[in-house]
Structure 1
Amino acid sequence: MSDSRDTASRDRASREVVLGRVRAALRDAPVPPPVPREYRPAGRDASLEMLIDRLVDYKAVVHRVSEEEVASTVTGLAGESVIVPTGLPHAWRPAGAVPDDGLAPDRIAAADAVLTAAAVAVAETGTIVLDGSPDQGRRIITLLPDVHFCVLRPSQVVAAVPDAVARLDPRRPLTWISGPSATSDIELNRVEGVHGPRHLHVLLLTG
């Protein structure tokens, strides 16, 4: 027992020696200046054209449509099996759309496409954010189908990431989407569809 106490005592003494040397070395260190936070302020005007340019650069397809044209646009591009979240407006749903009322993963993966709304989009980065609201649904329905159709209102487009963060609730399940799912191997060969849909269609509402 005494050996254990002696070892613990030596350890504490050694630790204090090391910490003392660290404190001494830092005693005369300069105080770092405060980090500026005003270099990327929120509140700048958003540019729809910039968002479209970024989305196209990410190989997403952008369609400018009215609310009345959402369903017919999806019908013309997708197959017969389109999954929608239960809170998606009925006017947007193509004929035969399948609401996600707890569908099994294999049923979701077998669907031709998924159609959702969005929470916000960032013009500067071409990023669309989903937050799991009723018109966006569970994260799984936007990861397994090969095609994702996403309806976006102009009022949901913000200039930069700080603007998006200001609008979002960090307690919600946030999914940040910058174009179709893609990755590269060690030789930089691009492979699409590894972690999500290979095709992203953004339906930007005109009204």
Structure 2
Amino acid sequence: MAEVLVRKRIVTVEDIFHEGGPVTDRVIKRGAAIAVIKNPFAGRYVEDIAPFMKDLEPLGVSVAQQLLDALGGDAKAVEGYGKGAIVGEAGEIEHGALWHVPGGYAMRDVLGSTKAIVPSTKKVGGPGTRLDVPITHINASYVRTHYDAMEVGVADAPRADEIALVLVMTMGGRVHARIGGLLAHQIEKWDGLR
């Protein structure tokens, strides 16, 4: 079992009142939590990296809980989520994929058995690299009002031998969503799709 070395953690929360249209009755909150860790595989090719996912599980739960707490602590109020990773230049894109299971399942567990897959993105880049983390509804991937993204990044990360691991949660869809389609209150199959 490899030790997960965290250099820093960042949490940011946005309160969205409008996007150019009328001010909404309900403020939409969305937040991101980022953990910057040392990449144990930086600078070399390692065939069997999958065991590190298990090592990341406690960090996933901690980051998910920290983000939920920053958003007020009510798991039932969270409607959207996403995840991502920025891998430093001495790593490879596959190292970012290590976050899929520990980040996604931790967030789903903290929120209480959500149905939809947690959308994800990843890239390789240096300090200050920005990442657009995709967001969908937590229980049905086809809810158009919740198709969104949150841009994240860290001014001094990831360094070449680091990975920035990201989780995003929202407490609503886009503030002025009006393109039709399935709405959150119309979800009925509870299979993660419709």
Greater percentage in helix: 1
Structure with more relative contact order (C-alpha pairs < 8 Å, separation 6 or more):
2
TM-score, normalization by structure 2: 0.25
Larger Rg: 1
TM-score, normalization by structure 1: 0.24
Greater percentage in strand: 2
